[in-house]
Copies of this chain bind each other. A is one copy, B any other.
Amino acid sequence: MRQPLPHKDKQKVPEPTLRRLPWYLSNAKLLKQQGELYVSSTEISKRINIDASQIAKDLSYVNISGRTRVGYEVNALIDVLEEFLGFSQCHKAVLFGVGSLGGALLRDSGLRHFGLEIVAAFDINPVLIGTSLNDIPIFHPDTFAEKMQTLDVNIGVLTVPIEIAQQITDCMINGGIKAVWNFTPFRIRVPENIVVQNTSLYAHLALMFNRLNFNEDHL
């Protein structure tokens, strides 16, 4: 069963806003640790170097209102942001490809604190099948369709080699997956109603290397 949707309303939130909201959340958490009860958008602005009016605009999407002169209540800000961002819900997922990156994600229990629970993994490696990693069982991909009957899952994490990235994506979608978290550097194609979130560590590395070379050359 899915929880009721936590959003204030169902408008499509702009991606840049969604990318900034976790920054406000982490700052609010830090302020809480420091014993602060209230924070204004001007204070957040000083701390993270984003325009205060932008922060106020971003926060207008979430269900919180600041009080004149005191700002937002820190505890409420944390709760509302965690709920809005989906971190306080439990989203179940499966993972395909228990290689070095896939294995690393299965071991990373931090994901669970942000609302993602990987409940099963799939790999063709006979050494892995039947074992478990961080209490997550590993199965043969052939059993996926059958497992999907009992698992309440709509997210698939893709950490397979590029040569089977598209095939495994198709297999996940046929099995009922609605969102694919794609860690491969491969651009997968999906039907229009399927969400793809690309997180290629390698693309980020390339960006960083390029900027570093550029800076070194302009010293």
Chain A contact residues, CB within 8 Å of chain B: 2, 5-7, 10, 12-13, 15, 18-19, 21-23, 25-27, 29-30, 33, 48-50, 85-87, 89, 91, 99-101, 103-105, 107-111, 114-116, 154-155, 162-163, 178-179, 181, 184-187, 189, 193, 195, 197, 199-219
Q: Is the CB of B107 within 8 A of A206?
A: no
Across the interface, A110 reaches (CB within 8 A) one of B29, B101, B108, B199, namely: B101
Complex Cα distance, B10 from A208, in Å, reads: 15
Q: Is the CB of B105 within 8 A of A154?
A: no
Across the interface, A91 reaches (CB within 8 A) one of B48, B49, B209, namely: B209
Complex Cα distance, B100 from A185, in Å, reads: 23
Across the interface, A114 reaches (CB within 8 A) one of B178, B181, B189, B202, namely: B202
Q: Is the CB of B189 within 8 A of A197?
A: no
Number of copies: 2
Q: Is the CB of A204 within 8 A of B199?
A: yes
Q: Is the CB of B115 within 8 A of A26?
A: no
Nearest Cβ on chain B to A55's Cβ, whole angstroms: 11
Q: Is the CB of A206 within 8 A of B21?
A: yes
Q: Is the CB of A205 within 8 A of B103?
A: no
Q: Is the CB of B22 within 8 A of A185?
A: yes
Seed contacts A5-B217, A22-B202, A101-B108; 7 additional CB < 8 Å A-B pairs: A7-B213, A23-B185, A89-B209, A100-B107, A110-B201, A116-B205, A195-B211
